[in-house]
């Protein structure tokens, strides 16, 4: 695992209920996710946001959560099972530097990428694959922690997203984070 990959013990800390005071999953995600949607969440960790995504897509929707660390996915899968949400959640792993999501081409309504891009081995490839997954008019909430990710790195990430065909729709207020909503333009 690359040295900058968030370890499982940090994954557990990220589940801390106090985090809701500053990054409330329902408040943050409900403007973007409706019942029946297909949602992709790269780097969900143990699922601080994932269970809310699964609630919001409802029984007819789908959430695909993709993490490089099996331990993150194991804990997420258990939590989803206890919450009665496992039926609408698919857990996946990347293949090498790729998300390996060719089967999702033009089928995803919304992507949540929260505190992940700075850990990725190839963020240019990530944005190309994410853009290919999104439907025309689909959106991505992209957020990076201000503590880890300096302005130059954030600006670089936005330029890679733009190169991949995503446009910045607007800034989104996410505590302690750089954050924007990206949109795949309607063709
Ligand atoms: C800082 S954690 C953020 C977790 C979650 N998004 C949150 O905000 O609570 C970053 C997550 O990205 C995952 N990750 C790192 N590299 C990845 C890759 N190449 N593909 C998928 N997930 C990756 C890590 O395993 C970790 O679970």
The pLDDT profile of the chain, 187 residues, written as one tens digit per residue, is 665 899 999 999 999 999 999 999 999 999 999 999 999 999 999 999 999 999 999 999 999 999 999 999 999 999 999 999 999 999 999 999 999 999 999 999 999 999 999 999 999 999 999 999 999 999 999 999 999 999 999 999 999 999 999 999 999 999 999 999 999 987 6
Instruction: Return all residues near 37 (Cβ < 8 A) that are at least 6 apart.
Output: 56, 57, 61, 62, 109, 110
Alpha-carbon distance of 65 to 47, in angstroms, equals 9
Counting from 1 in the atom list of ligand 1, the atom nearest the Cα of 14 is 9
Determine if ligand 1 sits within 6 Å of the CB of residue 67: yes
From ligand 1's centre to the CA of 179, what distance in Å?
Answer: 16
Task: Give the residue from 133, 85, 143 showing the smallest Cα distance to 109.
Answer: 133
Is 61 in a helix, a strand, or coil? coil
């Amino acid at each position: 695992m690359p040295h900058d990959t968030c370890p499982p013990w940090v994954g557990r800390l990220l589940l801390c209920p106090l985090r809701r005071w500053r990054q409330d999953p329902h408040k943050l995600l409900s403007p973007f996710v409706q019942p029946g949607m297909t949602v992709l969440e790269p780097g969900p960790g143990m699922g601080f946001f994932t269970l809310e995504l699964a609630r919001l897509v409802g029984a007819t929707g789908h959430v695909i959560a993709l993490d490089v660390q099996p331990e993150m996915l194991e804990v997420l899968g258990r939590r989803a099972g206890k919450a009665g949400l496992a039926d609408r959640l698919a857990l996946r792993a990347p293949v090498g530097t790729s998300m390996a999501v060719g089967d999702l081409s033009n089928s995803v309504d919304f992507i949540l990428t929260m505190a992940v891009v700075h850990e990725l081995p190839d963020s240019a490839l990530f944005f190309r694959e994410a853009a290919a997954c999104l439907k025309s008019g689909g959106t991505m909430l992209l957020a990076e922690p201000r503590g880890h990710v300096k302005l130059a790195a954030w600006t670089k990430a936005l330029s890679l997203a733009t190169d991949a065909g995503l446009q910045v729709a607007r800034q989104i207020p996410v505590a302690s984070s750089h954050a924007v909503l990206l949109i795949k333009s309607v063709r």
